[in-house]
DNA sequence: ACCTGAACACCGTTCAAGT
DNA sequence: ACCTGAACACCGTTCAAGT
């Protein structure tokens, strides 16, 4: 997982390159201040650049977000690879999920943008977070093989649930430690216990026939 | 939990009353078609009413949503009260949470609107779903007293997690049964097991000291 | 090749005029 | 008392003109 530089693929004219970097700097500031729905016009204005220039470099909001988040995804992917050598596969996965959730909570709307990207395969964000997801999946698989995670659990489900937890934590402002508590619930649900599968079936199927 | 009629508190002039009901009908249609972000202008147009009339009756989008969702909240509250007499407290809670999640998935954006309402105490939605939440809390408390839910779990956390699961299921279109699987994870996490608390502590605390 | 910003489109919200 | 819809504000997006 080599960290890609936050630069476009092709060489640029000097002024274009300068504008690109300015836009990226201001986009980071605006997104961290106003979330992923930050005003594009505002970003262009703060970068001392016409709005058309912003669109030239970043045709969609997703493209701009991708550039802003690229480092973060790479870091998370690298972290997952590091954790592959951690002695406890279960602890390693839990630690990574926690890091993921904390990261997804830093920007307002990030969890929603991630969910949208996961769903839209054409999105730049989708491609960009693929490496991170693959690394997380490897971590999950190892934990599952080691017996720390129950065999019927699915990595993508867990990824989605972690993102949902980040979303929930973002919405409710005053409940400190909410993400930790919710992640605990999710992790405990992932722990293999014969009683779980049994309980789950009876709890879900049984009561539907009541009313 | 008596079902309140979908009508304003004070008597209205005949034309006002007719407009109110028309708006409500079209709001239901628009919300079920386009989600909670449905265009207000479109709703007014379809109700053959000026946009100002919509604002007169429903000063905010939340107020309109509240009127649309009132029945649903009341039904969910009543269902929770029914389930209080179900022989298995744990199964009863699981069934109710499942019903809640299915309901929260029917409209695009409903989970997000609920989360926003939960956070904003001034919102009309906040007041409106209070009865439902109270009934759910009673169901939760009974399950916890019976030992089906571990003692350190919090009802509001579970409510928030269920809503987050509904949100996640709404985002990802093609994963059928996602909400069921995620709810299973959450429910299994709620099951009391000494190994859980221990595992949770070590999983969350341990790996943070790695890097 | 790239930049600029006026112009267009769209939507939410308010309020003066009308019945 | 209530309704109407023009007017205002705001923002995203495009594109003809300019360098």
Tens digit of pLDDT at every position of chain B (211 positions): 444 445 666 677 888 899 999 999 999 999 999 999 999 999 999 999 999 999 999 999 999 999 999 989 999 999 999 999 999 999 999 999 999 999 999 889 999 999 988 888 888 888 889 999 999 999 999 999 999 998 889 999 999 999 999 999 998 888 889 999 999 888 887 777 644 433 443 333 333 333 3
CB A13 within 7 Å, strand D: no
| Band (A123; pLDDT cuts 50, 70, 90) | confident
∠ at Cα A94 (A90, A98), nearest 5°? 170
More confident residue, A130 or A210: A130
Residue A2 has pLDDT above 50, yes or no: no
> At CA B114, angle to CA B20 and CA B6, rounded to 5?
25
Q: Is the CB of A39 under 7 A from strand D?
A: yes
Cα(A57)–Cα(A65) distance, integer angstroms: 12
Model confidence pLDDT, tens digit, residues A38-94: 999 999 999 999 999 999 999 999 999 999 999 999 999 999 999 999 999 999 999
How high is the pLDDT of residue B198?
Answer: 37
* A143 pLDDT more than 80: yes
pLDDT band at A199 (very low <50, low <70, confident <90, very high): very low
Residue at minimal CA–C1' distance from D15? A52
Q: Is A93 helix (H, G, I), strand (E, B) or coil?
A: helix
Q: Touching check for B119 and chain A: CB below 8 Å?
A: yes
Long-range CB pairs of A31-36 (<8 Å, 24+ gap) are A31/A65, A31/A68, A31/A107, A32/A106, A32/A107, A34/A108, A35/A107, A35/A108, A35/A109, A35/A110, A36/A61, A36/A65, A36/A107, A36/A108, A36/A109, A36/A110, A36/A112, A36/A113
Under an 8 A CB cutoff, do B165 and A167 touch? no
Q: What confidence score (pLDDT) does residue B102 get?
A: 94
Instruction: Give pTM, 2 decimals.
Output: 0.87
What's the rounded mean pLDDT across residues A189-203?
Answer: 50
Q: Which helix (H) or strand (E) holds A199?
A: helix A194-205
Residue A203 has what pLDDT? Answer: 38
Tokens 């489900």 correspond to A157
- Interatomic CA distance for residues A66 and A58, integer angstroms: 10
Query: Which nucleotide lies closest to A15 by the C1' atom and the CA atom?
Result: C2
Q: Residue B51 and residue B64: Cα distance in Å, rounded? A: 13
Q: Is B156 on the interface with A (CB under 8 A)?
A: yes
Query: A13 vs A52, A55, A63, A157, B176, CA distance in Å?
Result: 17, 17, 20, 44, 49
Share of chain A above pLDDT 90, in %: 64
């Amino acid at each position: 997982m080599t960290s890609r530089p936050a630069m476009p693929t092709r060489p640029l004219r000097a002024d274009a390159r300068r504008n690109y970097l300015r836009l990226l700097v201001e986009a980071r500031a605006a997104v961290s201040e106003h979330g992923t729905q930050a005003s594009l016009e505002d970003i262009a204005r703060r970068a001392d650049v016409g709005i058309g220039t912003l669109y030239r470099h970043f045709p969609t909001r997703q493209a701009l977000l991708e550039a802003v988040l690229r480092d973060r995804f790479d870091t998370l992917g690298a972290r997952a690879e590091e954790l592959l050598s951690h002695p406890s596969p279960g602890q390693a996965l839990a630690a990574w999920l926690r890091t993921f959730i904390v990261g997804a909570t830093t920007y307002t709307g990030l969890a929603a943008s991630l969910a949208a990207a996961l769903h839209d395969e054409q999105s730049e964000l989708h491609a960009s977070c693929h490496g991170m997801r693959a690394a997380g999946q490897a971590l999950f698989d190892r934990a599952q093989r080691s017996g720390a995670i129950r065999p019927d659990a699915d990595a993508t489900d867990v990824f989605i649930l972690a993102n949902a937890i980040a979303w929930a934590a973002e919405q409710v402002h005053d409940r400190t430690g909410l993400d930790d508590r919710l992640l605990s619930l999710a992790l405990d649900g992932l722990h293999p216990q014969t009683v779980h599968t049994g309980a789950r079936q009876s709890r879900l199927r049984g009561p539907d026939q009541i009313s």
